[in-house]
Structure 1
Amino acid sequence: MKLERLISIIYMLLNNEVVSASELSCKYGVSQRTIYRDIEAICAAGIPVVSYQGVNGGYGIMKEYKMDKSLLSSDDIASLITLLKSTTTIFEDERAHETIHRLKTVQTDNGRAPSLTMDLGSWRSYTAHLRALHSAINGRQLVQFHYTNAKDERQDRVVEPVSLVFKYGAWYLYGYCRSRDDYRVFKLTRMSELLTLPECFQREHNIHTEDVLTGGGGQEQEQISHAIIHFTGGSLARVLDEFYLDEKQFNDDGTLTLTITQAIDTDWLIEKLLGFGEDALVLEPPALRQRIKEKIGKMLNRYKEV
């Protein structure tokens, strides 16, 4: 508790010109004598605390030692706290909790409702996998797991984990796959029987953001760059959820016409459209219409005995 109080006092002094001993005593529920000892400990640690005498006197830190407040506004601090809180719902990171506490000591609008709230957890969260992978990344330990790829092939993988990535509403592991001698991105939902191996790796990994976001080193999937789909009025909310970045036209009869003009994975699109059932009708291109027709035909054949 003392260390936590000392850190909080330091941030109080950094955020205010002068803070009186009585104010600090009241805030932390200790005697002024204890505050005096705390100030001495802070000075002994090399932080230049200045004592101001008089009615409005108290303690402060030399201006030359302070960071310019304009670097972090109240909104910046609130956003940092929100982001850290969202990660602590998944990762049991004591350092994050300590950082949140320190940031709260410099907040000046504690009574105002937050303008941003995030929760990265969900009913389908893979908390155990995430924590195990996070620990392996920090410890530079190899991980092993069974992985089902986009071709429905289930294989053993041994990976040097580099980074966890949250994108498109799902978690991914970016790492160097020893089984493929290349960097790969693995979707956590396709992992099973995850094990952290005792062996540590020495290889230095330079993370390239473009590789993480595009799947670095993986095989490219067939993509389609133009499509027009008509949706009935009973599926508008789902369309907005699934295709929020694409061009949408709301029609007078309550239906919606979706126009896709950016490259999108063809298999993913077909899977999503089949999920809409009779509410979705592909108008263009003809090749996509044919692919969906073939898929539906195969589905009907599986139920021909019904």
Structure 2
Amino acid sequence: MKLERLISIIYMLLNNDVVSASELSCKYGVSQRTIYRDIEAICAAGIPVVSYQGVNGGYGIMKEYKMDKSLLSSDDIASLITLLKSTTTVFEDVRAHDTIQRLKTVQTENSRAPSLTMDLGSWRSYTSHLRTLHSAINARQLVHFHYMNAKDERQDRIVEPVSLLLKYDAWYLYGYCRSRDDYRVFKLTRMSKLAVLPELFERHHNIRTEDILSGGGKNQEQTEYAVIHFTAGSLATVLDEFYLDEKQFNEDGSLLLTIVKAIDTDWLIEKLLSFGEDAVVLEPQSLRQRIKDKIGKMLNRYEEV
């Protein structure tokens, strides 16, 4: 749309000393004649655009008109730009890119290297689902997918998508499940055959951020206390997986881990089994028994070996 193009051109001019008509024409996919008319419209709106002649000529905005760079600190701006850049790598959000251009207009020339760097694009296997769901959320369209629940049951779900959630090392969809007539959280890695339906939903989901962050755990069995002994050869992985839990390093190089918060029991058992003989649950007895039963079932699979 013309208005969006005009606003974007203004920020381009604010963010650069000189921008040529050919560069603007190429960026917005219009003729140079259209760019000339856009510049005239910007001038008519009271923004002082200056024309520079010559080989390196083009258009710029008077320095006195540019935004005061003291509105935000350089660290504030750098952090915001970093966060927005990380989302554009996944969602290809044009609006986020335009916001970055606006922020750069108040970034000082002597800004140091960013103290924060993020790469959400590392979830490459999720990218297609993330973009599809993000688009459906913005358009308020229903989505349909096959979902594998915690009981290993594959079910069809029709969902009114509300929000995407990045929690720990995984992406989730928070939405209103029409199949269950309630809000649910769905892990993206368990989705298949995701499709956006043409039907729009009219329900207004006035959900608090706290509700989204705490959702999805209502029906999960949780462990709120556990003491686990890890051998010295597994410490790096333990620190990666349980970095917020209480740790006691022993003289022999081993580690005693104490969990004093609610945690999904099934997830914890699977994680501890991945350590093999390097992890031993000391408490509680109920968790020790569940792991013993799990190992017993695994051994039964290899009776003929």
Q: TM-score, normalised by structure 1?
A: 0.82
Residue number in structure 2 paired with 1:121: 121
For residues 223-302 of structure 1, the aligned pairs below 5 Å read 223-302=222-301
Question: In the TM superposition, what are the counterparts of 1:53-92 in structure 2 within 5 Å?
Answer: 60-61=64-65, 71-92=71-92
| CA shift for structure 1 position 74 | 0.8
Say which SS state the counterpart of residue 129 (structure 1) adopts.
helix
Partner of 1:8: 12
SS in 1 for 2:152: coil
| Aligned-partner residue type, residue 260 of structure 1 | I
1:28 aligns with 2:19: yes
Q: Note if contact 1:137-1:163 (Cα within 8 Å) is conserved in structure 2.
A: yes
Change in Cα spacing, 1:59 to 1:89, as seen in structure 2 (3 Å) is: closer
Deviation string for 1:4-29 (max 9, x for gaps)? Answer: 443233468xxxxxxxxxxx4xx436
Per the alignment, do residues 215 and 258 of structure 1 end up closer, same or farther by CA in structure 2, a change over 3 Å counting?
same
2: CA distance, partners of 1:165 / 1:202: 22
Q: Partner letter of residue 224 of structure 1? A: T
Unaligned runs of 5+ in 2: 22-36, 51-61
- Measure, in 1, the Cα distance between the counterparts of 2:185 and 2:39: 50
Aligned residue-pair number: 276
Q: Provide the secondary structure at the position in 1 that maps to 2:145.
A: strand
2: distance between equivalents of 1:107 and 1:50?
21
Instruction: Using structure 2 for the length normalisation, give the TM-score.
Output: 0.82
Q: Give the match for residue 213 of structure 2.
A: 213
Deviations 1:73-105 (A, max 9, x none): 111110111001111111111111122122223
Partner Cα distance (1:261, 1:111) in 2: 43
Change (3 A) 1:130 1:194: same
Cα offset for 1:221? 1.3
Q: Give the residue type in structure 1 aligned to 2:200.
A: C
- 2:116 is paired with a residue of what secondary structure? coil
Percent identity over paired residues:
75
- Amino acid paired to 1:232: T
Deviation at 1:273, TM superposition (A): 0.4
Q: Which amino acid aligns with 2:193?
A: E
Q: CA RMSD in A?
A: 2.7
Counterpart in the other structure of 2:107:
107
List runs of 5+ in structure 1 lacking aligned partners: 13-23, 31-36, 52-57
Deviations 1:13-70 (A, max 9, x none): xxxxxxxxxxx4xx4368xxxxxx99875453255x699xxxxxx65349xxx6x755
Distance 2:163 2:136 in 1: 10
Displacement of 1:172 after TM fit?
0.7
Is contact 1:225-1:264 (8 Å) kept?
yes
The whole-number CA distance in structure 2 between the counterparts of 1:124 and 1:259 is: 34
Counterpart-to-counterpart distance in 2, 1:77 and 1:111: 10
Taking structure 1 as reference, are residues 191 and 270 closer, same or farther at Cα in structure 2, changes over 3 Å only? same
Residues 233 and 256 in structure 1, CA contact (< 8 A), matched pair in contact too: yes
CA distance in 1, matches of 2:286, 2:132: 44
Return the offset for 1:109: 4.4
| C-alpha distance 160-3 of structure 1, shift in aligned 2 (>3 A) | closer
Amino acid at match of 1:277: G
After TM superposition, give the deviation of residue 148 of structure 1 in Å: 0.9
Is the 8 Å Cα contact of residues 13 and 19 (structure 2) preserved in structure 1?
A: no
Match runs of 1:155-166 below 5 Å: 155-166=155-166
Letter in 1 for 2:302: Y
Query: Aligned partners of 1:80 and 1:111: how far apart in 2?
Result: 14
Within 2, Cα distance between the matches of 1:2 and 1:178? 42
Cα distance, 1:156 vs structure 2: 0.3
8 Å CA contact 2:162, 2:174 repeated in 1:
yes
* Counterpart for residue 202 of structure 1: 202
CA contact (8 A) 1:163 1:175 kept: yes
Q: Which whole-Å CA distance do the structure 2 matches of 1:230 and 1:191 have between them? A: 35
